[in-house]
Amino acid sequence: MDPFDLLMAEHRDLERVMEALDGCAERAEDDDPEALEALGEFARLVSAIDRHGHVAREDSVLVPQLIGAGMRPDEELLAAVKRDHQEVRALASELERVAKAGDPERAVEIAFKLSDLARCHIFTEETRLFPLARAVAQRGGLLVIAEAFADFDRRAAAGEESARLGAARDALVARWGTDAACVRQRVEWAGTDD
């Protein structure tokens, strides 16, 4: 698979997670204790994606490959992407802390900040970094990156991180995503006489 198509497919998964995170934050805003606890689970999921998933794929495989293919390490876009990753990491650990401390107001604020930043970050990567990276890597380089990604996937599968991460992601999206909310609402309506 083309390495940038793979990264963009992972972005679509991340957008579903962010959409579910927003839904969960809205419920936490209405003082739903289950939602506040779930915000902590979202925070742990984002940290796992940072350590073992998409963000690790970009930081530990893509960026070194691009530098190897000739991109300058101090390239403004690479620095901006790294800053975003650091900020997402910091927001996720702060969200986990305040959700555990039982502070819904602060947790909701951080959750919305996190989903906004993730969406802007995805936009920056897809409209600026990936086109530039694709041009730098060119054809031979793309194959090398694809192979390095396959190695990354083999290591993640061997350590079972990818299965754990996928299961946690799917459970949160199913519980808090809009589709899930629509289904719940339809079930509730079906149970009334209106």
Distance in Å, CB of 187 to Fe ion, minimum = 35
Distance CA 186, CA 194 (A): 12
Q: Which is nearer to Fe ion, 58 or 96 (CB)?
A: 58
Rg (CA), the chain: 18
Q: Which is nearer to Fe ion, 22 or 58 (CB)?
A: 58
Q: Which is nearer to Fe ion, 88 or 172 (CB)?
A: 88
Interacting residue ranges for Fe ion, rule: CB under 5 A? 58, 125
Distance in Å, CB of 68 to Fe ion, minimum = 19
Q: Which of 92, 91, 99, 94 is nearest to 37 (CA)?
A: 99
Distance in Å, CB of 4 to Fe ion, minimum = 10
Q: Which is nearer to Fe ion, 14 or 28 (CB)?
A: 14
Question: What is the Cβ-side half-sphere exposure of residue 185, based on CA atoms within 13 angstroms?
Answer: 7
Q: What is 61-97 written as a DSSP string?
A: IIHHHHHHTT--TT-HHHHHHHHHHHHHHHHHHHHHH
